[in-house]
Each structure stands twice: as structure tokens, then as C-alpha cells.
């Protein structure tokens, strides 16, 4: 197990890092084509990153360690999550650490670091973005935790590989009311957590409407490249987590080396499909008024609550 | 003009002079009444004008030299308009050029207070008892005491040390913080600085700081000849080439008493609607984009591109420059009705999709209400006013062409972003119908009347003490004298053969004539400024943003002595902060786009 498992972890990281900008590029391209535009091409985010990495690093006057460390910590936490989450294989050396609570906490840590960096700049936009982000996070985190509880009850564990493996071996569980409700709740909070429509508009230039972008307005050059990459990786990992939890088929559960390439390819395919679907759906959405966002998130919290209830009373099968 | 002894400050009773002016209106002529008034009389007269339903459309200062009839003075002209039926009244006040001061009218009319601050910054005229005597146009690094519009201003001096920070009103209280935005913005928009005082997400107060793109356009007009003024007018605000060019041309034609042939007036009306179309379509898309519904923006921009290409065919320029020329219009091709109908169908689809989208509609409805009372008090114009229930449209109030039944003016009363969206959508329908109607009777080509040479040439010697009305002034072109002195009102030169350019109106010469002594009897001076020997004209046009007012005075040698331009944005900017009170910060960009005010047209 160790050799193949180690390879699987490394492969997951490589695929997430290399694929995250491509996923963003794919989503933008899908959106552009559906709107009747030519689009910049799937490779554009990578070209942007290359451009930014070559630029001179600049730090605004008066910023402290929080601003400087945030890009590194954001990418680092996301890399750890990419290693822990069973994207291609459930049988990895780190499986015992891959608890859902750990993953959620690491993702929240990245968000908090960014908010601190936004506050650290001392600008109105940084503070405004941080305040909005914290409002959203305060509503998102309980939903995630409840959904996790709902999913862990049938599997009897909050360990992610265990939950995923349970789903692979007992597919009927995936169609249980608890699983479906938790799935919808998690999907909604994924949109909020990654700053997609209808909560935030990733393509806007209007600084006053921004949430995620407002926090990072002061970043430039390589730091901005890391932030962008970190955000893209978070999106990839979260979409990957959704696919592993709700459509886990193809994921490697054993130590057979042959299953790994297939699992990686399927992972990439499923995430690309989900991302393209999300981008297509976004074409038909619009951004909600900021004060309506809590209503949406409260709705998803309710779904998560129902999922917990359902996991006790409607265990499926 | 009737004899007018009152051209000197404070002298005697005010006597109205009726000037006839150009043939710009649908029935061939408009009348503009000019009243010389004393400083002490001014507030009373303004109150009467406002009570009578007029609105202050323009206030401009003029520096009359020693050779002017009334002697050196700073002459302030207030133009009041009302319509329909078209009514234009000017109050002329003459001030001591050394210590110019005016009683502030800010307590009577909000726009008057803004015009006074503008005149203070550019001309050095002190508004006495002004409630808000702060700088408006000049930023703090402009040296104090330098007034760029004065004749002796010279080239701009180097920037001085700023006199401290711009005095934004600080809002204090628990949890109140400020968000400064601009003047450089993330999007490709013009520069303006906004200072939000915010608690949580709610805007308590917004202060807009403009005039970052003050280019001295009015100064640039001075001394140009009429033809060279046109390109400048077209570039006052790039998206309003037709509106500003037309207002400028109407003013010049009135000042020269030129009759514009009916086909040319139709062509101008057509171009005006084409301009309205491409701008409104772009706004519909941009409003959808600002709520994150990008697909409708992509589609609206596609339609706009079709319209721009059509504009290129019609005038040779995508933004319709070159279509309106002094004395007429130049149209290379006419829009094909079938094509316009297809474009109309596309636009209606876009509008229906936007209004049918629950999130989009929710964002529009109720956002940033401007109530009708505020809109009226602030003197709002254009779609901003019409979305708040104020029916103002220069096509009805000050027509230069008889639109007949083809023109309807949509009005909404809710005053929110949705109303401003709907007004645009409905105006697009009206414009499409107008384009079809107007194009039907037109043939492509250049239709223009030569500018009547009359007035200007005659006034060349206007300064002479003699009665200007004497025929055969030095500069020849005697025909302008047609009207002769006796005739106070000339006939509307509507019958003037365009080619012949006779300016029947003798209006402008008046001035010279008017020269002081001459008082009575001096020429027909209709259009003349208060005895300055200068011919004046006013153009009022419903541009796509609202009513544009341009007032032109021609020097005796037919160059532009003074051009004052008032873009509707000047009236509408103060409404933006009012509408935004108690709105949340993230709705500001949407609100701003729904107003879509011009920075260039405001800053000049």
C-alpha cells in the first residue's frame, strides 16, 4: 500500500496544482462560448500566472506579516487538503489524518488568513471584503459541519476515506435522502466558499461589489499569482470533494497500481464536467443582493439540518 | 431690440426685449426674450420666473471689454426656459468688472447655486451669501486668485500647493467608516472621486468630487470660427457627439439667423435618435452586467455593434460625428427599415429576458429610489427625471422639428433602477419608430444652408457709437441689414432661402448698435446680448442623457466670443447621492450605471 499510496498522494497534488488553472480556464471558456464570445482559451489562467510570477514583488507600505504570509499559507493549507482528501485513492498513507473536520478547518484557515491579510492592508476595501467574507463564512461553516455529520452517520466515522469507500461499496447510500440533502447543502456552500455566482461575481471589476476580490486588491506580482493559484486550487479541491462524496465511482480503493491512472483520469474528467456544468449554470444566474445572501445560506443550512435528521430516521435501504 | 436704456447696470426699469431668433423651431422661429436687470432686482425676477414654471437652463458669465457698448463689465446671463409652448427668457445682469459680486440665488434654485460656484471658480464672481461657498470646479492645487475664464488669465500657471485636503463632510458615530473610491477606477470609465460614509453596508452619505477632466473646453471655443467649433462640440462628451454638435449648431444658426431646410432638420432628428439608440442599448446591457448577468450584456453589446456599424454607414463615423453641420446635416445613407426592425426585435428580447429573470428584477426593483420631489428640486433632466415622474423632454418643450404623433415620452414614477431601465427600454421603442418615420421622407446627401453672413459681418464695426443699424456696415454683406432698424422683430427667417443666407433677422447686430448712447432706436438688436454688440443664440436639444443647452455669442468678426455648454449631467450629478442615501454599498455601481452621467460633459 505504501508505494502506490504515496504515488497516489503525490499524483493528487500534481493534478490539482496543474489542473486548477486549467479548470478555471475551462469554466471561463464555457461561459464565454455560451454568451457568444470567443473567450481567451483554456490556458489563459496559466499564462496569467506565468506573467504575474515574473513581476517584481511589491508590498504596500504599512503592511505586516499577515499580508506577506497569507499567500504562502493559503497555498500551503490548500496543498495539505489536496493531499488529504481522497480524490484519486482512498488508500493512502495519510488516510488516518484525513478527517472531514480537519479538511473543513484547513479550508476555513485559508479563508481567515486571507481576511486577516485584507485587514492588514488598512484600506477600506480590504476591511470591507474581510467583513463580508466573515459574514459569509459564519453562515457557511455551520452548514459544512452539519452536512459532514449527516454523511458520517451512515459510515460511522468522520474519516473521509472511510466515508468515500463506504459510498463506493454501498452505492444505494448515495441516493438516500440524507445524502441528497447534504449534497445540495454542500454544493450551495461550495459556491459561497469559492466566491461564485450568485454569492460573488468572480469576473467583476466593480470593487464595491466584491467579496473575495476586495480582500486581495492590494496584491500584485508573485504574491497575487499565489493567491490566484490558491483560490483556483480550493475550487478544484472542493469540486473534487463533492465528486468523491457523491459520485465516487472509479476512485482507487485498494493498492492495485493499475487503478491509479484510471482513477486520476476519472477524477479530472468528473471535476471538469462538474466545473463546466457550474459555469454553464452561472450563465443563467445573476448576483444576488448582498443582503439576500444570508437567506440563501440559511436555506442551505436548513437542508443540512434536514440531512442530519434524515440520516437518523430515513437511513435508506 | 427695443431701445434699451437698461443695459447699464442697475439702470432704470427693466424692459423686455424680444429677440427673434433663428429658425430652429418646428414652426420656423423661436422667440427669446431678453431682460436687462439690475443686481437688486435679480432675486425678485428669478423668483417670478421660477414661479411661472420656468427652469434655469443655463447661467454664464461674459467679460465685456472696454469697447463693448456698455463699457467694460462682467455680464451674467441667466437663461430660463419652459415648454411647451417653447419659452425662453434671459436675464442679463451687468457687474463691476473689478469687484464682481452677485446675490446668491441658491435659496431659490439649487442649480443656480451650482452655476454660481462654477462662475466663482472660473470667472471670480463672488456669490454673496451663498450657503455652500466651496470650490466646485477648481481643485485645491489650482492657485487661488487665478480665474481661467477671464480674458487676461493667460496660460495656466503651475500647480500650487494644495490648500489642505478637500473638505468632505465627516460623518461621525459608532461604526461609521469612510470608503474612498477613485478617481482612477477599475473599469474603463471616466475619473471621479467618491467618498462614502458607511455604517455596516449602508451608505449614510456620499460625496462626489468631479472636475478631474476639466479641459477648459469653453475657453478653447473662444476665438475659433464657427466651422472649427464644431469638432470641439462633437468631442465634449464622446458618446453625445450628435447632441452637443446639434445644440451648438442650433445656437450658431440662431445667432446668425440662418434658416435650416426642413429635410436637414429631419436628418438631424434622425441622427439624434440613432445616438439615443446605441447609448441606451449599451446601458441596458451594462445594467445587466452589473448584477452579474453577463450574457445579456454580451448580447446587448452585439446589438450595439450593429448600430455602430450602421452609424458608420450613415455618417462615416461610428459615433455619428460629422452628421450634423452648421446650417444642415450630412447623411451618407439611410437606415434600412427591415434592419432596424430586426434590431428592435433583438432589443425587446433582451429586455424581456432581463425583466423575466427574478434575481435581475429583484436587484433593479426598489434600488436607489430618487423621488419626484427631489428630482424636481434638483432640476434633473433626461431619463433620470422621467424615471422619477418628471416629464421633461426638449423634443416636446423646445422642438426644432414637428414630430407630430410619432413622439411619445415615457414616464415612470418609481424612481428606482428598474424605472430607469424601463425608461430606456421604452425610449428605444420610440426611437426606433421615429427613425423609421424620419428616414421615410429623407434622401441621403448633404442638405445645408450657408450660414447667413449678415449679422456677424455687420457687427464688425459694431462698436462704433453710431447706430448699428445703419445699413451697409463696413464689412459689407449689406443684406443682413434687411430688417433694418425699425423692425424690432424680424420675421423669422424661415423664408430665407438657405442658399442666400440672408439673415433676415437682424438680430445680432444690435449690439454694436446697442452701444450705450444709442439706446433706443438702435438696431433691431434682437439677438444681441445686452448691448454688447454681439450676436447670441441658444440651442436646446434632447440628447440621449437629457436636455443639452448651449449658448453662443459671436464676435463681430464671426468668431466665437463665448460658448457656454450645459450637459444634463451637470444637473443630474447631485441627484446621485440623494438616490443613494440608505442604499447599500454593493448597489452603488448598479445605481451609478443606471444614472450613467457624463464626467467629460460635466467637467468640460
A246-295 pLDDT tens trace = 998 888 887 777 888 999 999 999 999 999 999 999 999 988 888 889 99
CB proximity A207 to B under 8 Å? yes
Q: How far apart are CA B117 and CA A159, in angstroms?
A: 70
What is the CB neighbour count within 10 angstroms for residue A14? 12
The Cα of B132 is separated from the nearest Cα of chain A by a number of Å equal to 28
The Cα of B565 is separated from the nearest Cα of chain A by a number of Å equal to 31
CB proximity A284 to B under 8 Å? yes
CB proximity B293 to A under 8 Å? yes
Q: How far apart are CA B404 and CA B5, in angstroms?
A: 42
List the Cα angle B293/B296/B299 in 5-degree steps: 150
Nearest to A286 among B201, B299, B360 (CB): B360
- Which whole-number Å values give the CA distances from B113 to B103, B217, B400, B551, in the listed order? 10, 22, 30, 19
What per-residue confidence (pLDDT) applies to B533?
A: 55
Q: How far apart are CA A208 and CA A200, in angstroms?
A: 12
Say what the ipTM of the complex is: 0.89
Nearest to B292 among A36, A124, A197 (CB): A197
Q: Are strands B193-199 and B176-181 parallel, antiparallel or unpaired?
A: antiparallel
Query: 3-state DSSP call for residue B459?
Result: helix
Residues 6+ apart with CB under 8 A from B158: none
| C-alpha cell belonging to residue B404 | 407630430
> Which of A207, A229, A210, A237 is CA-nearest to residue A52?
A229
The continuous run of DSSP H or E covering B377 comes out as: helix B372-378
The Cα of A200 is separated from the nearest Cα of chain B by a number of Å equal to 9
Residue among B359, B364, B591 with most chain A CBs within 10 A, to mutate = B359
Q: How confident is the model at residue A315 (pLDDT cuts 50, 70, 90)?
A: low
What are the respective helix, strand and coil percentages of chain B, to the nearest 5? 40, 20, 45
- Name the strands in the sheet holding B324-325, side by side, starting at the edge strand that comes first in the sequence: B324-325, B328-331, B445-448
The Cα of A145 is separated from the nearest Cα of chain B by a number of Å equal to 28
What is the CB neighbour count within 10 angstroms for residue B567? 30
Cross-chain residue pair B589–A208, CB shorter than 8 Å: yes
Exposed / middle / buried, residue A3 (Cβ in 10 Å: 0-12, 13-18, 19+): exposed
pLDDT digits (tens, 9 = 90+) for B316-328: 999 999 999 999 9
pLDDT digits (tens, 9 = 90+) for B243-287: 999 999 999 999 998 889 999 999 999 999 999 999 999 999 999
Cis, bond preceding B138 (omega within 30 deg of 0): no
Query: 3-state DSSP call for residue B139?
Result: coil
Q: List the end-to-end C-alpha distance of chain B, in Å, as a whole number.
A: 33
Q: What is the pTM of this model?
A: 0.85
Instruction: Tell me how many domains chain A contains.
Output: 1
What per-residue confidence (pLDDT) applies to A312?
A: 83
What per-residue confidence (pLDDT) applies to B475?
A: 36
Residues 6+ apart with CB under 8 A from B564: B58, B60, B218, B550, B551, B552
Q: Is the pLDDT of residue A65 over 70?
A: yes
The Cα of B418 is separated from the nearest Cα of chain A by a number of Å equal to 14
| C-alpha cell belonging to residue B580 | 443613494
Check: CB of residue B335 under 8 Å from CB of residue B439. yes
Question: What angle, rounded to 10 degrees, do the helices at A65-84 and A100-120 form?
Answer: 160
- Ranges in chain B, pLDDT < 70: 1-29, 166, 454-533
> Which of B591, B202, B206 is CA-nearest to residue A131?
B202
Residue among B183, B293, B416 with most chain A CBs within 10 A, to mutate = B293
Check: CB of residue A126 under 8 Å from CB of residue A227. no
What per-residue confidence (pLDDT) applies to B467?
A: 35
Q: Find the closest chain A residue to B194 by CA distance.
A: A208
Q: How far apart are CA B305 and CA B319, in angstroms?
A: 11
- Phi, then psi, of B204 in degrees rounded to 5: -85, -40
Nearest to A208 among B299, B360, B585 (CB): B585
Residues of A in contact with B585 (CB under 8 A): 128, 208
pLDDT digits (tens, 9 = 90+) for A92-133: 888 888 898 899 899 999 999 999 999 999 888 888 899 899
A34 Rama sector, left if φ>0, alpha if ψ -120 to 50, beta otherwise: alpha
B309 alpha carbon, distance to own chain's centre: 27
Q: How far apart are CA B596 and CA A257, in angstroms?
A: 62
Length of chain B: 604
Question: What angle, rounded to 10 degrees, do the helices at B417-440 and B262-290 form?
Answer: 150
Cross-chain residue pair B362–A288, CB shorter than 8 Å: yes
Residues of B in contact with A291 (CB under 8 A): 201, 584
Nearest to A124 among B178, B288, B589 (CB): B178
Nearest to B589 among A128, A132, A209 (CB): A209
| C-alpha cell belonging to residue A120 | 492588514
What per-residue confidence (pLDDT) applies to B454?
A: 54
Burial letters A51-69, b for 16+ CB under 10 A, else e: ebeeeeeeeeeebeebbee
> Which of A68, A76, A88, A66 is CA-nearest to residue A9?
A88
Cross-chain residue pair A206–B181, CB shorter than 8 Å: no
- Which whole-number Å values give the CA distances from B415 to B119, B350, B583, in the listed order? 31, 22, 13
| C-alpha cell belonging to residue A298 | 440559511
Q: Is the pLDDT of residue A88 over 70?
A: yes
Nearest to B302 among A36, A201, A289 (CB): A36
Q: What is the span of the domain harbouring residue A218?
A: 2-313
B176 bridge partner residues = B199
Nearest to A289 among B180, B186, B362 (CB): B362
The Cα of A212 is separated from the nearest Cα of chain B by a number of Å equal to 13
Residues of A in contact with B357 (CB under 8 A): 286
CB proximity B173 to A under 8 Å? no
CB proximity B359 to A under 8 Å? yes
Amino acid at each position: 500500500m505504501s508505494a502506490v499510496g504515496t504515488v497516489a498522494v503525490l499524483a493528487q497534488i500534481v493534478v490539482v496544482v496543474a489542473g486548477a488553472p486549467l479548470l478555471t480556464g475551462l469554466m471561463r471558456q464555457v461561459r464565454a462560448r455560451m454568451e457568444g464570445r470567443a473567450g481567451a482559451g483554456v490556458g489563459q489562467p496559466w499564462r496569467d500566472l506565468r506573467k504575474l510570477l515574473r513581476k517584481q514583488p511589491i508590498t504596500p507600505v504599512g503592511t505586516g506579516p499577515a499580508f506577506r504570509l497569507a499567500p504562502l499559507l493559503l497555498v500551503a493549507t490548500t496543498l495539505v487538503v489536496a493531499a488529504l482528501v481522497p480524490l484519486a485513492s482512498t488508500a493512502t498513507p495519510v488516510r488516518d489524518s484525513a478527517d472531514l473536520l480537519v479538511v473543513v478547518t484547513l479550508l476555513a484557515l485559508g479563508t481567515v488568513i486571507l481576511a486577516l491579510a485584507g485587514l492588514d492592508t488598512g484600506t477600506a476595501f480590504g476591511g470591507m471584503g474581510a467583513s463580508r467574507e466573515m459574514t459569509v463564512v459564519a453562515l457557511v461553516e455551520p452548514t459544512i459541519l452539519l452536512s459532514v455529520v449527516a454523511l458520517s452517520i451512515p459510515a460511522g466515522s468522520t474519516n473521509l476515506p472511510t466515508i468515500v469507500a463506504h459510498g463506493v461499496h454501498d452505492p444505494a447510500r448515495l441516493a438516500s435522502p440524507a445524502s441528497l440533502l447534504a449534497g445540495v447543502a454542500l454544493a450551495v456552500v461550495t459556491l459561497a466558499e469559492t466566491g461564485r455566482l450568485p454569492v460573488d461575481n468572480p469576473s467583476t471589476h466593480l470593487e464595491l461589489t466584491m467579496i473575495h476580490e476586495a480582500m486581495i486588491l492590494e496584491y500584485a506580482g508573485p504574491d497575487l499569482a499565489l493567491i490566484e493559484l490558491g483560490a483556483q486550487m480550493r475550487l478544484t479541491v472542493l469540486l473534487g470533494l463533492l465528486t468523491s462524496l457523491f459520485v465516487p465511482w472509479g476512485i482507487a480503493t485498494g493498492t492495485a497500481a493499475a487503478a491509479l491512472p484510471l482513477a486520476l483520469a476519472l477524477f479530472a474528467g468528473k471535476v471538469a464536467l462538474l466545473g463546466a456544468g457550474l459555469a454553464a449554470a452561472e450563465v443563467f444566474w445573476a448576483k444576488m443582493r448582498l443582503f439576500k445572501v444570508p437567506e440563501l445560506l440559511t436555506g442551505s443550512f436548513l437542508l443540512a439540518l434536514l440531512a442530519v435528521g434524515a440520516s437518523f430516521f430515513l437511513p435508506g435501504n | 431690440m427695443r431701445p434699451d436704456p437698461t443695459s447699464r447696470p442697475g439702470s432704470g426699469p427693466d424692459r423686455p426685449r424680444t429677440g427673434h431668433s433663428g429658425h430652429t423651431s418646428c414652426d420656423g422661429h423661436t422667440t427669446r426674450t431678453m431682460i436687462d436687470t439690475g443686481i437688486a432686482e435679480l432675486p425678485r425676477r428669478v423668483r417670478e420666473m421660477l414661479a411661472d414654471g420656468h427652469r434655469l437652463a443655463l447661467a454664464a458669465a461674459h467679460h465685456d471689454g472696454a469697447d463693448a457698448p456698455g463699457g467694460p463689465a462682467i455680464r451674467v446671463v441667466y437663461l430660463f426656459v419652459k415648454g411647451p409652448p417653447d419659452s425662453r427668457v434671459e436675464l442679463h445682469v451687468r457687474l463691476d468688472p473689478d469687484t464682481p459680486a452677485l446675490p446668491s440665488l441658491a435659496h431659490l434654485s439649487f442649480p443656480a447655486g451650482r452655476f454660481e460656484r462654477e462662475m466663482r471658480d472660473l470667472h471670480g464672481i463672488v456669490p454673496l451669501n451663498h450657503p455652500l461657498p466651496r470650490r466646485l470646479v477648481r481643485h485645491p492645487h489650482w492657485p487661488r486668485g487665478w480665474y481661467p475664464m477671464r480674458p487676461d488669465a493667460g496660460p495656466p500657471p503651475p500647480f500650487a500647493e494644495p490648500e489642505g485636503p478637500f473638505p468632505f463632510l465627516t460623518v461621525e458615530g459608532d461604526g461609521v467608516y469612510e470608503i474612498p473610491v477613485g478617481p482612477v477606477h477599475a473599469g474603463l470609465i471616466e475619473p471621479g472621486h467618491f467618498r462614502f460614509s458607511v455604517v455596516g453596508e449602508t451608505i449614510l452619505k456620499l460625496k462626489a468630487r468631479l472636475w478631474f477632466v476639466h479641459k477648459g473646453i469653453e475657453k478653447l471655443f473662444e476665438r475659433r470660427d464657427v466651422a472649427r467649433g464644431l469638432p470641439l462640440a462633437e468631442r465634449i462628451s464622446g458618446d453625445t457627439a450628435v447632441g452637443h454638435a446639434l445644440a451648438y449648431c442650433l445656437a450658431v444658426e440662431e445667432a446668425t439667423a440662418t434658416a435650416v431646410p426642413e429635410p436637414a432638420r429631419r436628418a438631424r432628428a434622425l441622427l439624434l435618435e440613432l445616438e439615443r439608440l446605441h447609448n441606451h442599448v449599451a446601458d441596458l446591457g451594462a445594467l445587466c452586467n452589473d448584477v452579474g448577468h453577463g450574457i445579456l450584456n454580451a448580447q446587448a453589446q452585439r446589438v450595439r455593434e450593429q448600430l455602430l456599424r450602421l452609424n458608420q454607414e450613415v455618417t462615416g463615423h461610428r459615433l455619428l460625428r460629422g452628421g450634423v453641420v452648421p446650417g444642415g446635416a450630412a447623411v451618407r445613407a439611410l437606415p434600412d427599415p427591415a434592419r432596424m426592425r430586426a434590431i428592435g426585435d433583438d432589443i425587446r428580447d433582451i429586455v424581456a429576458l432581463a425583466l423575466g429573470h427574478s434575481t435581475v428584477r429583484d436587484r433593479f426593483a426598489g434600488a436607489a429610489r430618487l423621488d419626484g420631489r427631489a428630482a424636481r428640486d434638483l432640476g434633473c433632466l433626461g431619463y433620470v427625471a422621467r424615471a422619477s415622474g418628471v416629464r421633461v423632454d426638449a423634443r416636446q418643450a423646445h422642438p426644432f422639428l414637428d414630430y407630430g404623433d410619432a413622439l411619445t415620452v415615457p414616464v415612470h414614477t418609481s424612481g428606482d433602477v428598474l424605472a430607469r431601465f424601463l425608461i430606456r427600454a421604452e425610449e428605444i421603442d420610440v426611437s426606433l419608430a421615429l427613425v423609421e418615420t424620419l428616414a421615410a421622407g429623407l434622401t441621403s446627401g448633404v442638405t445645408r444652408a450657408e450660414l447667413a453672413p449678415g449679422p456677424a459681418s455687420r457687427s464688425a464695426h459694431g462698436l462704433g457709437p453710431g447706430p448699428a443699424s445703419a445699413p451697409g456696415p463696413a464689412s459689407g454683406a449689406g443684406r443682413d441689414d434687411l430688417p433694418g432698424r425699425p423692425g424690432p422683430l424680424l420675421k423669422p427667417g424661415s423664408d430665407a432661402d438657405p442658399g442666400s443666407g440672408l439673415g433676415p433677422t437682424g438680430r445680432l447686430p444690435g449690439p454694436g448698435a446697442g452701444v450705450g448712447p444709442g439706446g433706443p432706436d438702435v438696431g433691431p438688436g434682437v439677438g444681441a446680448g445686452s448691448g454688447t454688440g454681439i450676436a447670441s443664440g441658444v440651442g436646446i436639444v434632447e440628447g440621449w442623457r437629457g436636455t443639452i443647452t448651449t449658448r453662443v455669442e459671436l464676435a463681430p468678426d464671426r468668431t466665437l466670443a463665448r460658448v457656454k455648454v450645459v450637459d444634463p449631467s451637470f444637473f443630474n450629478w447631485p441627484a446621485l447621492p440623494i438616490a443613494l442615501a440608505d442604499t447599500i454599498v454593493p448597489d452603488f455601481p448598479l445605481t451609478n450605471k443606471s444614472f450613467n452621467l457624463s464626467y467629460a460633459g460635466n467637467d468640460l
